[in-house]
Structure 1
């Protein structure tokens, strides 16, 4: 850990706070840290527990079985990505993790299907499909409520984000950081910023997640059990002309005596619709804050960034 820190990311309650108060606190935490921690989000704990159990069962399968669902053929968007494939933008070492991606199921004939491949599901785990389809819907629901709080914080109409994220290319990632040796390098996932609008993360209470504050210090992000760690992604940073800045974060190894244990987490990368044009909101642009980036569609921006982290070749 770097320098000691005097301030921590607050833990906010979606149930106990009035919407206006939650919006102010949530947006303020985003502006200060790029992160917030949220409890009382209303997600079904029994469903979450079932998801954890199935994720552990999948990652315990033989390597040959997991590679039957290799995601390299669809840009890393659906199915399995093996240990050591992904690399943080600008990093020299690949991350020490493997993961599975669940995406959105679109109706047959939907024009957005051209940019979103169909899901794949492991034959070895019959309950996998139903469980993670339900969890995906739960993340979608909670994510929409969090975005409504951000809309109010930005002075927008409360449901402003509903249309921009409708049928968005959001990804539920099941992450496994396998045990490492006591002599392993200190980083399981290199410092990076997320591509998407916001990320909702379950499992951060297992430890290892750190964010880089505005002073350059690395802060541990350890929510209460079951709470969500939520962070600003680059798409929201771009949309707000950097008023809500995306924050570097990483996953570090535990102390040597704990490195023989796996770490699991479940981030939901909430994305805009692929055809949404990301352009700075008018209220975020003025003489002191000129527009920093040209407009770009969400799909083109995602493709550009997936190439940078090695999930799309070429």
Structure 2
């Protein structure tokens, strides 16, 4: 048993804020229950995701956006690799981002979404799930703000029209894996502000503790696993930790079936300057950098730009 926080955000946020903050400071992770994303929507999204990944390879590859850094559409198996990793991760994925109206001041940073015509209801389902993730993320950020001694709505303008991305992930069965030494997702930290993950019930997700030991995360069914990303770590000067984590290969029967999950990478606005909060600043505070510039810097490191 670990003491990673597992809290209900149906409770008043001021009652759970410090428990979440403690967990994010020590582990970089927490489990969120009663997050408000409808079970029916999650099940429908899982069905649509599986239907897309079951399409023929040439159909899926028609949705690769060359030069797009993987920000929209399909990224095939064997593309992304963790920073400093020698081999690619064993996964394929689809990205849904924010759709902005023509002429919006941030439109240059976010390409329009593309949608697979072959899966009925795909667009409707994932537009709904994207919005539901944003609502859940807003509650988590409000709790974090309370814990940090900020106004509860401090993060609202920082993420308004942010470059958040929802990823539909498929880790294929391991039989016939080509890359010797590869695992489903090599050790890495997330780039963004916070990540909200659906589908972590399937064993494999592990975080690296401060003592160097790997800790498996085993959330209850339907819960969200939330972790701090590098941007929020930078903003708080390491007070809230962006923890290295990985998805390891399963053994036994689980090795012969695919694993699916849906992380939501919640981002600051591209023009938001990540500058250490005054309450967290010291002589080691990093230099200010825009969210967009930081994102580009990190995407180059993981082979997506």
> Is this a same-fold pair by TM over 0.5?
yes
Aligned to 1:23: 17
CA apart distance, 1:49: 0.5
Aligned to 1:124: 118
CA apart distance, 1:39: 0.6
For the Cα contact (< 8 Å) 2:95–2:165, is it kept in 1? yes
Aligned to 1:82: 76
Aligned to 1:215: 211
RMSD: 1.3
For the Cα contact (< 8 Å) 2:90–2:182, is it kept in 1? no
Aligned to 1:302: 295
Query: How many angstroms apart in 2 are the aligned matches of 1:265 and 1:219?
Result: 19
CA apart distance, 1:18: 3.1
For the Cα contact (< 8 Å) 1:89–1:192, is it kept in 2? yes
Q: Calculate the TM-score normalised by the size of structure 1.
A: 0.94
1:258-301 deviations in Å (ceiling 9; x for gaps): 2110000000000000000001000001xxx3243111100000
Structure 1 residue runs without a partner (length 5+):
1-5
For the Cα contact (< 8 Å) 1:191–1:250, is it kept in 2? yes
Query: How many angstroms apart in 2 are the aligned matches of 1:108 and 1:301?
Result: 25
For the Cα contact (< 8 Å) 1:78–1:117, is it kept in 2? yes
Do structure 1's residue 12 and structure 2's residue 7 form an aligned pair?
yes
Aligned to 1:188: 184
Structure 2 residue runs without a partner (length 5+):
none
Match of 1:61 among 55, 59, 69: 55
The alignment covers a number of residue pairs equal to: 303
Q: Calculate the TM-score normalised by the size of structure 2.
A: 0.96
Aligned to 2:250: 254
CA apart distance, 1:257: 3.1
Query: How many angstroms apart in 2 are the aligned matches of 1:107 and 1:309?
Result: 30
Aligned to 1:139: 133
User: 1:186 and 1:74, CA in 2 relative to 1: closer, same or farther beyond 3 A?
Assistant: closer
CA apart distance, 1:111: 1.8
